[in-house]
Amino acid sequence: MADFNELTKIEDRTAEFDPADAQQNKTMGILAYIGPLVLVPIFAAKESKFARFHANQGLVLLICEAALSILGIILGLITWVLKFLLVWPFEILVLVLCILGIVSAAKGECKEFPLINKIKILK
């Protein structure tokens, strides 16, 4: 069983990325965490490793949010208590991760989020 500290560890991978690329594509990194705007860096900054790193995390968070929304609709039809107890805490977690991603991108950093750091949608 995985250690709790390993599950919640934020890994800083900033040193693996070109500082000039990070400086030039901060805006693209920020857009990656604003819902459907993740498509902007995916298509407009294809050559930027920094933007693609943040776009991958933003896309994973967007997919998580979509899944939570669908689950929330289903549970909301049954009872709002289930939705409140099972979905809202995860929606808040996704929101917090989006805010952390925006801050990280604005600073020119590349920090992998726990739990989703192993999911690579974009190469």
CA–CA distance, 22 with 109 (Å, rounded to integer): 8
pLDDT of 3 over the 80 cut: no
Tell me what pLDDT residue 91 has. 92
Tell me what pLDDT residue 1 has. 47
CA–CA distance, 13 with 82 (Å, rounded to integer): 37
User: Which residues, other chains included, contact 22 with Cβ-Cβ below 8 Å and sequence gap of 6+?
Assistant: 14, 29, 50, 108, 109, 110
Tell me what pLDDT residue 5 has. 65
For residues 79 and 7, the model is more confident at 79
């990656």: which residue's tokens? 32
For residues 50 and 5, the model is more confident at 50
pLDDT of 102 over the 80 cut: yes
As a whole number, the mean pLDDT across the chain is: 90
pLDDT tens, position by position, 56-98 = 999 999 999 999 999 989 888 888 888 888 888 999 999 999 9
- Give the residue-averaged pLDDT of 102-108: 96
CA–CA distance, 123 with 102 (Å, rounded to integer): 21
pLDDT of 38 over the 80 cut: yes
